[in-house]
Amino acid sequence: MDLGLTLGSLVAIIVLALLTAKLFPNTGRLDADRVARNIVRYAPEAQVADVMVDATGNVALAALDAPADCFGLARLLGDRVVCRLLTSADIRKVYKDHARITLVLNDFTQPEITLTMPAATLAQATKLLDGFANREEATHAA
Amino acid sequence: MPLDLPSPTDFAVPAFVFFVLVEMIYGWKTGRAKFEGKDAFTSLIMGLGSTVSGAITVSITFFVSYWVWENFALFNWGHAAWVFVVAFVLDDLAYYWIHRCGHRSRWMWAAHVIHHSSQHYNLTTALRQTWTSQLTPGALFRWPIFILGIEPGIVFFCAGLNLIYQFWIHTEAIDRMPRWFEAVMNTPSHHRVHHANNPKYLDANYAGVFIIWDKLFGSFVPEDRDEPCRYGLVRDLGTFNPLRVAFHEWWGIVTDMWQAKGLRNKLMFLVAPPGWTPDGSRKTSDMIKAEWRERQASTNSGSIDSPPKGAPQAAE
């Protein structure tokens, strides 16, 4: 391995990445339609009932009519959308305060997701997530 | 004494950088090639890491390959120019099967998935290479060439040329090549299909240089203008972190094997197709394609509503 070639490559990588960011800036944000379209693209069987986009426009939760026992998560990664259908088994912990919800997930590539929300949306999202926690508890109780 | 041939990819690096720059400026001017800063950075870092990991293990690879050749070669082919041509074709055939198994067995997919983990398709994607191919049985696929009697140095030289050929086909900037070329060679159009996660396109077009292997072994799917390619994985990664990109599937294998009950299930999590689970709770590409065919049939027969008009066709 040529050290000069490796260091030269590293410099070229940094220059190319900076140039890319300059020429192709990310201006897109999530909205309800984009989230719903991408959830259906990811899971064609999904029926989206409601979408809650966080204040940054980077993360959203989706309540689903189908499939049962899961909800949708959409996240902007660069200029593309990454989707998941989550069940209670995928969620390790949920932290909430007056403005944020943090989901700790069993997902090696996105172990933690934070949603910043205005009070009304936060209440909606909390209700959605509590529903899953309650269902899990009910399952355990049964 | 092993044949001392240069590594073609080392010489190609400046050209790679130049053509990435050309495609980027072309895409910026015309909109016919799309880039994203962090995605490009991750792809290029994965490429550099792949070079480093390859350099660390190159001695072992060479030693084992030469041991096989010296002890089991049936013929001595020598170093004539025509031997290089034969080696190139045979290596491309071996590549086809390495690549096909790379998609059909999770052990090999754990290394290869990195190359498919970008949701973009441009020349930086070509350089998004694995760091862990040495941990898979992929090298075994070239042993028959050594046993036939072609010296490993020649085969590795040809493999380098093969990799360089595959660089230029990772682009949306080129639509179609002339018909005769599309018929025989791997092209941007054929390889876009390979990188697409549309159910229709899954597990298709494994070729390196010659697309004839796919036509011969039944894995060829042509690009359909009515079905634009969406790039990436059926379950895309939620990170640009190169370490998480490099090891996510290995981590998945280890945790699945750890939690699996029984030796058979543990082994199946390693060797079965990606997405396999004992209870079918995840989907393999075969299951995704079967569900897609069912939906197509139901839509065509009118028994279910057409897909929502807003559903994205191209990536967004």
Distance CA A54, CA B59 (A): 51
Distance CA A25, CA A19 (A): 10
Distance CA B229, CA B194 (A): 9
Residue type, A120: A
What are B47-103's pLDDT values in tens digits?
A: 999 999 999 999 999 999 999 999 999 999 999 999 999 999 999 999 999 999 999
Distance CA B260, CA B268 (A): 10
Residue window 49-88, chain A: list those with CB within 8 Å of chain B. 75, 77-84
Give the rounded percent of residues in chain B with a pLDDT score beyond 70.
95
What are B135-146's pLDDT values in tens digits?
A: 999 999 999 999
Task: Give the pLDDT confidence score for residue A141 in this predicted structure.
Answer: 41
Task: Give the pLDDT confidence score for residue A137 in this predicted structure.
Answer: 45
A52: β partners = A61
- Out of B35, B51, B311, the one facing A20 most closely (by C-beta) is B35
Mean pLDDT over each residue of chain B, to the nearest integer: 94
Establish if A38 touches chain B: CB-CB under 8 angstroms: yes
When pLDDT is cut at 50, 70 and 90, the band that residue B304 belongs to is: low
Residue B162 pLDDT more than 70? yes
- Mind telling me how many Å the CA of A14 is from chain B's nearest CA? 7
Residue B156 pLDDT more than 90? yes
Residue B262 pLDDT more than 60? yes
Phi and psi torsions of B135, nearest 5°: -90, 0
A32-141 carries CATH number 2.30.29: yes
A-chain CB neighbours of B251 within 8 Å are: 108
- Stated pTM of the model: 0.93
Strand order from edge to edge, sheet including A59-66:
A47-53, A59-66, A71-77, A80-86
How confident is the model over B278-285, as a mean pLDDT?
A: 95
Distance CA B43, CA B232 (A): 13
User: Residue A17: is it exposed, middle or buried by C-beta count within 10 angstroms (0-12/13-18/19+)?
Assistant: buried
On whether the CB atoms of residues A94 and A137 are closer than 8 A, the answer is no
A-chain CB neighbours of B314 within 8 Å are: none
Closest among B40, B270, B243 to A111, alpha carbons compared: B243
What are A65-84's pLDDT values in tens digits?
A: 999 999 999 999 999 999 99
Lowest mean pLDDT among A35-44, B75-84, B272-281, B306-315: B306-315
What tokens does A2 get?
Answer: 């040529």
On whether the CB atoms of residues B276 and B269 are closer than 8 A, the answer is yes
- Mind telling me how many Å the CA of B212 is from chain A's nearest CA? 32
What are B7-19's pLDDT values in tens digits?
A: 888 889 899 999 9
B-chain CB neighbours of A77 within 8 Å are: 119, 236-240
Helix (H) or strand (E) run with residue A102 in it: strand A100-105
- Polymer length in residues for chain A: 142
Task: Give the pLDDT confidence score for residue B316 in this predicted structure.
Answer: 62
Say if the Cβ atoms of A16 and B17 lie within 8 Å.
yes
- Polymer length in residues for chain B: 316
Establish if B282 touches chain A: CB-CB under 8 angstroms: no
Distance CA B300, CA A81 (A): 29
CA atoms within 13 A on the CB side of B52: 13
Establish if B163 touches chain A: CB-CB under 8 angstroms: no
Size of interface A-B (CB pairs under 8 A): 126
What are B178-189's pLDDT values in tens digits?
A: 999 999 999 999
Establish if A109 touches chain B: CB-CB under 8 angstroms: yes
List all residues 6 or more positions away from B188 whose beta carbon is below 8 Å from its beta carbon: B168, B169, B170, B171, B172, B173, B174, B175, B177
Q: What DSSP assignment string belongs to A101-122?
A: EEEEES-TT--EEEEE--HHHH
Task: Give the pLDDT confidence score for residue A138 in this predicted structure.
Answer: 42
